[in-house]
Structures are given as structure tokens and as C-alpha cells.
């Protein structure tokens, strides 16, 4: 589901998009990313192509770009956090000494 910030940003961009259409967009986005996140790990994300097509059809192009960028940034931030957690605390701040 979309956060209030997402809904506000998107309603400002396209005030004519109905609440029903936004809901359909969010549902298709969520289904696609659930599939993608499950299958991207093992390299079988091709299974998600039809869900991607439905997501792109249900959402405005600018929303798809926004959601894709947001997803990419969240994944990148999560990967950096995991990487930092694997570094021993004594080595994290070795450059500060």
C-alpha cells in the first residue's frame, strides 16, 4: 500500500486519477514487487514479466518510474545496512583513528 506522502505526491501530479485507479495501481505494483523480490535472488525474475506488464498498464508511466526508483533506493539502502552490520565494530571506525 502507498504511504500518505506517496498518495499526496501522486495526487498533486495527476489530480484526475481516481482513488479506485490508484488502488488498482498499488495492488499491481505490490504483486509485481513481491514476485520480483522473491525471484530476483535466484535469477528467475523472468517469471514476473506478466505482472510487470500489468503493473505498467495499471499505473501512470511517471508513477512506475517513481516506484521503481524508490524500490531501487530501498534495496540499495538495505544492502548497505547489511554490509555495515557484517563489518566488525572495531574496523568500522579504524579510519577515524
Contact status, residue 60 vs residue 26, Cβ threshold 8 Å: no
pTM of the predicted model, to two decimals? Answer: 0.64
Query: Looking at 56-60, 71-75, 86-90, which range is the least confident one?
Result: 86-90
Predicted confidence at residue 87, as pLDDT, reads 65
- 75 band by pLDDT with thresholds 50, 70 and 90: confident
Query: Looking at 10-14, 52-56, 58-62, which range is the least confident one?
Result: 10-14
Taking residues 43-67, report their average pLDDT: 93
Contact status, residue 47 vs residue 35, Cβ threshold 8 Å: yes
Q: 76 is written with which cell numbers?
A: 540499495
Amino acid at each position: 500500500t502507498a504511504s500518505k506522502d506517496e498518495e499526496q505526491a501522486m495526487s498533486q501530479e495527476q489530480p484526475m486519477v481516481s482513488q479506485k485507479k490508484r488502488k488498482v495501481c498499488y495492488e499491481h505494483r505490490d504483486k509485481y514487487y513481491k514476485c520480483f523480490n522473491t525471484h530476483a535472488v535466484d535469477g528467475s525474475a523472468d517469471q514476473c514479466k506478466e505482472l510487470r506488464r500489468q503493473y505498467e498498464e495499471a499505473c501512470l508511466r511517471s508513477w512506475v518510474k517513481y516506484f521503481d526508483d524508490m524500490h531501487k533506493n530501498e534495496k540499495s539502502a538495505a544492502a548497505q545496512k547489511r554490509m555495515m552490520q557484517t563489518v566488525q565494530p572495531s574496523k568500522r571506525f579504524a579510519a577515524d583513528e
